[in-house]
Structure 1
Amino acid sequence: MTLSTQTRRWLWVAAAVTGFGMAALGAYFLHIGLERSNQVAGVIGPFLAIIGIALSVYSILQARQQGGGAPRIQQSQRSGNNSVNIQSGNDVNIGDNNRLNGN
């Protein structure tokens, strides 16, 4: 799968923002102390878990709409002038256009 330049740019921006956010949160926790940071993390954690679940469900729904799933298996093999063995989904071609499981 090849990503477009714009998609790569957005992924880098998202990774940078996430990294800076985690560093800022760590500095904040260091500043307020262990007990208070434990309380804050106990409040923030469930909300982040809900956001993570929502993003997972959204990702699954997007993959289903785009027809995502197991990739089609394709195999091509040649030996000789008239012998072609192609396996892809439903059709198998053997020799001079002889078909099995196809039209």
Structure 2
Amino acid sequence: MTLTVATRRWLWIGMIILGAFMIALGAYFLHVGIDQSNKIAGISGPFLSLIGIGIATFSAIQARSTSTASPPSSLRQSQTSGDGSVNFQSGGDITFGNGNNIGDR
């Protein structure tokens, strides 16, 4: 997957905002103390976990739908090198000629 300039820019902006949020959250937890921080984290943890599971499920479904696309049937490559050694590729299958011997063996 190649990212466009605009996509990379949005990723950088998002990461900067997320980093600033994490720093602010850490400063807030230092301010309120360990007991209150533990209570807040205990309440928000399960909700953040559910959000993470949802994002992971969405990503897995999206990746699976894009990876099942079949290659075009017209894809064909061939190469000849040496005595009787011919390599063919068609849609992902590779056949080595010359009894799969490499070199002078």
**Cα 1:52/1:68, change in 2 over 3 Å:** farther
- Paired residue for 1:23? 23
Shift of 1:32: 0.3
Decide which structure has greater strand share.
Answer: 1
Shift of 1:92: 3.2
- Paired residue for 2:95? 92
- Paired residue for 1:80? 82
**Aligned-pair Cα RMSD in Å:** 2.9
Distance in 2 between residues matched to 1:17 and 1:81, nearest whole Å: 61
The aligned amino acid for 2:20 is: F
Distance in 2 between residues matched to 1:85 and 1:29, nearest whole Å: 63
Distance in 1 between residues matched to 2:35 and 2:52, nearest whole Å: 26
Shift of 1:13: 1.2
* Cα deviations by residue, 1:14-42 (Å, 9 ceiling, x for unpaired): 11111011011001100100100000011
Shift of 1:87: 4.2
TM (normalized to structure 1)? 0.71
TM (normalized to structure 2)? 0.70
Q: Which runs of 5+ in 2 are unaligned?
A: 70-77, 99-105
The aligned amino acid for 2:62 is: Q
Q: Which runs of 5+ in 1 are unaligned?
A: 70-75, 96-103
The aligned amino acid for 1:63 is: A
Structure-to-structure mapping, 1:6-17, within 5 angstroms: 6-17=6-17
Shift of 1:77: 6.0
**Cα 1:86/1:62, change in 2 over 3 Å:** same
- Paired residue for 1:101? none
Distance in 2 between residues matched to 1:68 and 1:52, nearest whole Å: 24
Whether the 8 Å contact between 2:87 and 2:95 is mirrored in structure 1 is yes
